[in-house]
Structure 1
Amino acid sequence: MISKWNYLPLTEKEKQAKEILSRTLGLDPYICELLVLRGVTNETDAKKFFRPQLSDLYDPFLLNDMDKAVNRLNKAMGSKEKILIYGDYDVDGTTAVALVYKFLQNFYSGLDCYIPDRYDEGYGISIKGIDYAEENGFSLIIALDCGIKAIEKVEYAKSKGIDFIICDHHVPDKELPGAVAVLDPKRDDSTYPYQHLSGCGVGFKFMQAFAISNNLSIKEYLFPLLDLIAVSIASDIVPITDENRILAFHGLKQLNSNPSNGLKAIIDLCGLKNKDITTSDIVFKIGPRINASGRVQSGKEAVDLLISKDPEGAKEKGENINQYNETRKEIDKQVTGEANKILENLKDFESHKSIVIYNPDWHKGIIAIVASRLTELYYRPAIVLTFSNGLVTGSARSVQGFDVYKAIESCRDLLENFGGHTYAAGLSLKEENIPTFIERFENYVAENILPEQMMPQIDIDATIDFKDITPSFLKTLKQFNPFGPGNTKPIFCTKRVLDYGTSRLVGRELEHLKLEMVDSRSENIMNGIAFGMHEHNEYIKAHHPFDICYTIEENTHNKNIQLMIKDIQPSK
C-alpha cells in the first residue's frame, strides 16, 4: 500500500520562533525547526526539553482529592489498618502496584498486592477482589490503573466497611465512584496541569504527595523507582511530553544504570545487557514479557518479579515469564491467522470502514495484540471479540487520528462495560447484542473517519540535503530522546537522490535494500537500509532519481551514520 507523506511546514510565527532559537542557542536551523514543531519556541523551553529536571515535576497536591488520599493513607498507617494495593494486569497496572508497594514497604508492613485474574474476574475492580479484601481484614484498597468507572463496586466495598482510593488515568464518566479520593488527571473538573500521566504515573504522584506530607526523602525512597515509571510510560503508549518526558528521561537513566532486580532479570533475558536501553526496547522487548504474565498466566507473577529483593529469585521468575511470552507468541500467531481468514471470506470487506470479528474460542489474553495487528495490516479501526466469564469481551485499536473510544461510547447502550483511550479501548457485551453493535459501530466509523486515516501516513519533520547530515547533527538529535507519542523520532525527507552504483539487495531472500546514495547538492555518499523494499531495486539500479524519507541512526557496528529508510517514491 502506498504511504501518504505529510509535510509539516512552519507557520510564519513558527518560522520567526525558529530563527530566534537558532540565533540565541547557536543551534542548526533544522534542529530549531524540530523544536518548534514540538512546541518548544523559546530558550527556557529548549533548556527544559534538552535537560529535563526532576525539580520541575508538578506539585502533586494540584491533583483533585490528593489531600483526601494522603489523609486517608496516613490514617490507615497510623491505625495499623491492612492496606491492599490493587491494580490492572497489564504493564501499566503491574508496574504501578510494584511502585506503590515498594515505596510504602519502606515504612509499613501491613500491605499486600492484588491483581485480578483476566479470565475469572476481567478488567478493573472485581467483586472477588473486594471479597478477598474483606476475608483477609483489609479496610483500605488503593486501586491503580483502574477503578474510574467502578461506581457499583466501590459501593459494594463500602457496605463491607472497605474504603477505596482510586488512582486512574482513563477517561471517566460524568459520575465518579464514591471513593474516599479519586485521583485522575482526566477528570472534567481536574486542576492538574498535565492530563496524560500513565496509571503508574498517578501512583507515583500519590506517593510523592505522601512523602511531602510526612517529610520523607523523595530522592532516597521514590526516585530509585523511576525505572518502573519509564516502563509504564513506554508500554502504555502515553505522550512523552511535559511531565511524562521528565519521568521517562530519568526513568531510563535508572533503568540503564541501576535497575531493580526484577527489571534487570528481564533486561538480561531480552539480550539488552550492557546496551543503551531506549523506549523502543521497552515497547518491543521488556513490556511484552511483563504483559505475557497477565495474558497467559497471572499478572500477580509480574508484580512478584518487579518487587523481588533477591536477584536469583528474580532470575527464576523472569525465566518463567519469558516462557509465558513464548507461549503468547504461538497463540498470537494462530489467532492472527484465523482472524485474517475470516476477513478474507467476508463479503464486501473492502467497503467496510471498520473491523469487528468474533470467535468465542479465542484466547482472551491476546485479542488486544491481534486487534493491533489487524489495524496495522488493514488501516482501519479494529475490534477483536471473544467469550469469557459469561460475556463477550473485546479489545479495540485505532488508526492515526481516529478516536475509537468515542466510537465505542456511541454504542454504550449495547454494552455492559467499556473504557480506555483514543487509540485503545476495551469493552464487554452480551452475545445477542453483537450484530447490532457491529452495524452501529461500522456506521459511526463510516460517518466520522477521514479517507486519509485509512491509509499509511508518514509525517515528515523536515526536508534536508545529505550535506546537512553531520556527526554534530546526529549528536544533537540523540538529545531529543526519549521518543514516543508527542515526541516521535524525527523523520526527514531528501529528494532526487541517486544510486551511487553500489546499492544491492540483501537478506536471506534478498528482500531488503542496502543503499549507497548521493544527491545533487553535495558529494556525501550516504548509507541506508530499506527493510522489505526490494520492489524498488530495478528502478533505483536504472539510475532514476527517487525521494526517500528516513530516520537518522548510528550504525552500532562501525559507529557510522546510517539512514533507516521508511519509504521510497519515484521523484516527480
Structure 2
Amino acid sequence: MRWTLKPTPDASIVNALAERLNVDAIIATLLVQRGIETFDQAKKFFRPSLDDLHDPFLMKDMDRAVDRIESAIRNEENILVYGDYDVDGTTSVALMSSYLSTLTPQVATYIPDRYQEGYGVSYQGIDYAHDNDISLIIALDCGIKAIEKVAYAKEKGIDFVICDHHRPGEQIPDAIAVLDPKRSDCEYPYKELCGCGVGFKLIQGLASRYDQTIEDLLPYLDLVATAIGADIVPITGENRALAHFGLKVINAHPRTGFKAMLSKANKTTLTITDLVFLVAPRINAAGRMKHGLHAVNLLTETDLQTALQFASEIELYNSDRKEADKKITEEALQQIKDNQEEERYTTVVYQENWHKGVIGIVASRLTETYYRPTLVFTKSGDKLAASARSVRGYDVYEALNACTDYIEQFGGHKYAAGLTLLEENYEAFKKKFESVVASTIDKKLLTPEITVDMPIELTQITPKFYRILKQFAPFGPGNMTPVFMTEGVKDTGYGKCVGADDKHLKCAVQKNKIAVGAIGFGLGAKQNLITGNNSFKAAYSIDENEWNGQVSLQLKLKDIN
C-alpha cells in the first residue's frame, strides 16, 4: 500500500473556520479538505435541507418530459416504466411506477432479462409495449445510447422519455425528452445524480403540476438513498441531501419491502454502508440469478406477509449468487496464475460458462487482488460479454473507448463498465486493451493507495471528537470516512491474529500512556510488525466497538508500517 497524505490546507482559512464553528483545528481541517470553507457551507454540510435541492426544471428537457407524461395521464394512455436490472435500475422502476400509480392506474413495469435481452433498452421490451397498446415508455438508468431502439419505437407509435446518468455518445436519441445531467447541453447545476436520482427529479417536476410539495415525495427517498449507495456516486451536494433524508425514511418509516428484507438483520439504525453491503446485494441478486422484476415486486409490495415471502426468495438468490461468485473467483484466480508469463498492466479472463450475473463482482474481487484494470468475460448468446472494473484514478471507460474497433457495444462509468464483442475479436481486443492501458496509466496507480487526511495523536481521540466526526456521514465518494495516521505507536502486548486462517489483526495501540483498541481486517500477516515492543505507524479510521453492552472507541486499521 502507498500512503498519500492530503495537502495541509491554508492555516488562516482553517483557523477562521474553527473559530466561527467553535470546533478544533482537526475538524476544521477535515472540512476545508472537503471544500467547506465558510459557516454557510458548513451549515449545509452538517444540516442538509430539502431546500438545497435544485429546481428540476433546470434540467434540459424536463418541461417536455413532464408535459408528455401529464398528457398521457390525462388521455388515459398506457405507460411502461422500463429500467435496468441492477440496484439503480430496479429502485428507479419501483420509484417511478409507485409514484405514477398514485396518478393513473395504467402503469406497467418492465425489466429486461439479463440473459435474453442484455443491458438497456431492448427490441423485445419495445415489442412488449406495442403488443400491450402502450404509447409511452419511461426509461430509467438506461437509454442514453439507444438511438436505433428509440427510432424503432417511434415507427411503432411509441414515445420515449429517457432518464439516464451515463455518459452520452456522439448522438442523443430522438426521444420526446432526454433527461441526463451529463449531456453537454444540460446546464443542471449538479452532474453526479444516479439513475434513480434523475427519476426522482422527474417525479419532483411532475409533483409541481399536481400541487404536491417535496414533503409529499419524502417516502420515495429511501429508494434514492439505496441507489446512491449502490451506484457509488459522489455523496456531495444534492446527493448528500437525498441520501441524508433517504436514510431518515429507512430508519423511521421503512417501506414494507425493506422491513421484510431486513427482518433477520440485527440492525437498529442503518447507515449508507449497510445499504451498500446488506440491502444492495439482495436487490441485485434478483437480477443476477433470476429476474430483476422480483426486486421491483419486493420494493413496491405493501402487504408484509407477501413481502416476507418475496424477501425469502431473494435471500435464496443471494445465497446462490455468493456460491457462484466464490467458485468463479477461484477459477479466475487460477487462470491468472496459469498464464502469468509476463508483467501485464491489465487483468483479462474468459470462460464461456461463467455465470453472467456475477462477472461484475468477480471483476471487483480480481481488481482487489491484482490491482489492475480488469475485465471478466463470459459467453452470452453468440457474443462475449464482459464486466470492467478499474483502479482508483484510472478511467476504464476512456480506455474502452480507445478499443471500439473490436467492441460491438459498451457503456458505463469511469470505474465500472460493460461491453460485448464477437468471439473472433477477443484476442485482438485483449491485446489492444493492454496496450492502451500500458501507454496511458500512471504506473503508481497500480499500487493500492490509502489517502490519509491528516496525522493526529491518540490523545486527540475523544468521545466529543467522535460525536462530531459521526456528523460527517453519510460517507462515500467525495466525502470518504476520515483516515488518520499516528506514528510511534506500540502494541500493549496482547496483539493477536483472529478469524479464519488468522486473517485479521486484533490489538490495542498505545502512545504517551494512552491506549486504544484496534482491529485490522486482512492485516493478520503483519502481526510480526507489532511484536517485541516494536514501534510502528498506523493508518486508521475511528469506529465504535460494542462488547457485552459496553461501547468504546476503536481504531479500524487500514494499514501499519
| Corresponding position: 1:202 with 2:198 | yes
| Partner residue, 2:139 | 143
Pick one of 365, 369, 379 that aligns with 2:361: 369
| Corresponding position: 1:433 with 2:425 | yes
| Partner residue, 2:545 | 555
Contact 2:50–2:214 (CA<8 Å) still a contact in 1?
no
TM-score under structure 1 length normalisation: 0.96
Give the gaps of 5 or more residues in structure 1: none
| Partner residue, 2:75 | 79
Counterparts of 1:396-545 in structure 2 under 5 Å?
A: 396-507=388-499, 509-519=501-511, 522-545=512-535
Pick one of 2, 5, 15 that aligns with 2:3: 5
2:203 and 2:11 map into 1 onto residues whose CA distance is: 42
- Measured after TM superposition, the shift of residue 546 of structure 1 is 0.4
AA in 2 matched with 1:67? D
| Partner residue, 1:276 | 269
Q: Which moves more between the two structures, 335-344 or 133-142? A: 335-344
Q: Which moves more between the two structures, 530-539 or 74-83? A: 530-539
| Partner residue, 1:382 | 374
Q: What is the root-mean-square deviation in Å for CA atoms of aligned residues?
A: 1.2
Q: Which moves more between the two structures, 435-444 or 537-546? A: 537-546
- Shift of the 514–155 alpha-carbon distance from structure 1 to 2, 3 Å rule, reads same
Pick one of 328, 335, 343 that aligns with 2:328: 335
AA in 1 matched with 2:281? P
2:352 and 2:505 map into 1 onto residues whose CA distance is: 42
2:328 and 2:18 map into 1 onto residues whose CA distance is: 52
**Other structure's SS at 2:242 match:** helix
AA in 2 matched with 1:152? E
- Shift of the 109–527 alpha-carbon distance from structure 1 to 2, 3 Å rule, reads same
| Corresponding position: 1:224 with 2:219 | yes
CA-to-partner distance for each residue in 1:310-369, whole Å, 9 max, x for gaps? 1110010010011000001111111111111111111424x1100111111111101111
| Corresponding position: 1:62 with 2:58 | yes
Contact 2:543–2:555 (CA<8 Å) still a contact in 1?
yes
- Shift of the 266–432 alpha-carbon distance from structure 1 to 2, 3 Å rule, reads same
State the identity %. 49
CA-to-partner distance for each residue in 1:277-304, whole Å, 9 max, x for gaps? 1111111111001000000000011001
| Corresponding position: 1:296 with 2:289 | yes
Q: Which moves more between the two structures, 543-552 or 210-219? A: 210-219
1:462 and 1:72 map into 2 onto residues whose CA distance is: 52
| Partner residue, 1:312 | 305
Q: Which moves more between the two structures, 388-397 or 297-306? A: 388-397
2:252 and 2:396 map into 1 onto residues whose CA distance is: 38
> How many residues are aligned here?
559
CA-to-partner distance for each residue in 1:149-206, whole Å, 9 max, x for gaps? 0000000000000000000000001210000000001001111001110100000000
2:527 and 2:146 map into 1 onto residues whose CA distance is: 56
1:103 and 1:347 map into 2 onto residues whose CA distance is: 53
1:152 and 1:203 map into 2 onto residues whose CA distance is: 23
**Other structure's SS at 2:408 match:** strand
| Partner residue, 1:28 | 24
2:408 and 2:385 map into 1 onto residues whose CA distance is: 10
Q: Which moves more between the two structures, 504-513 or 475-484? A: 504-513
Counterparts of 1:94-133 in structure 2 under 5 Å?
A: 94-133=90-129
| Partner residue, 2:315 | 322
- Measured after TM superposition, the shift of residue 390 of structure 1 is 2.1
| Corresponding position: 1:266 with 2:261 | yes
2:60 and 2:119 map into 1 onto residues whose CA distance is: 25
AA in 1 matched with 2:290? Q
TM-score under structure 2 length normalisation: 0.98
Counterparts of 1:172-183 in structure 2 under 5 Å?
A: 172-183=168-179
2:40 and 2:87 map into 1 onto residues whose CA distance is: 34
| Partner residue, 1:237 | 232
- Measured after TM superposition, the shift of residue 504 of structure 1 is 3.4
**Other structure's SS at 2:478 match:** coil
2:76 and 2:497 map into 1 onto residues whose CA distance is: 68
**Other structure's SS at 1:360 match:** coil
- Measured after TM superposition, the shift of residue 508 of structure 1 is 5.2
- Measured after TM superposition, the shift of residue 452 of structure 1 is 1.5
Give the gaps of 5 or more residues in structure 2: none
- Measured after TM superposition, the shift of residue 389 of structure 1 is 2.4
- Measured after TM superposition, the shift of residue 509 of structure 1 is 4.5
AA in 2 matched with 1:409? N
- Measured after TM superposition, the shift of residue 500 of structure 1 is 2.5
- Shift of the 380–188 alpha-carbon distance from structure 1 to 2, 3 Å rule, reads same
CA-to-partner distance for each residue in 1:452-489, whole Å, 9 max, x for gaps? 11111100001000111000000000001001111111
1:41 and 1:163 map into 2 onto residues whose CA distance is: 46
- Shift of the 537–430 alpha-carbon distance from structure 1 to 2, 3 Å rule, reads closer
- Shift of the 224–411 alpha-carbon distance from structure 1 to 2, 3 Å rule, reads same
AA in 1 matched with 2:262? I
Pick one of 199, 210, 218 that aligns with 1:214: 210
AA in 1 matched with 2:30? L
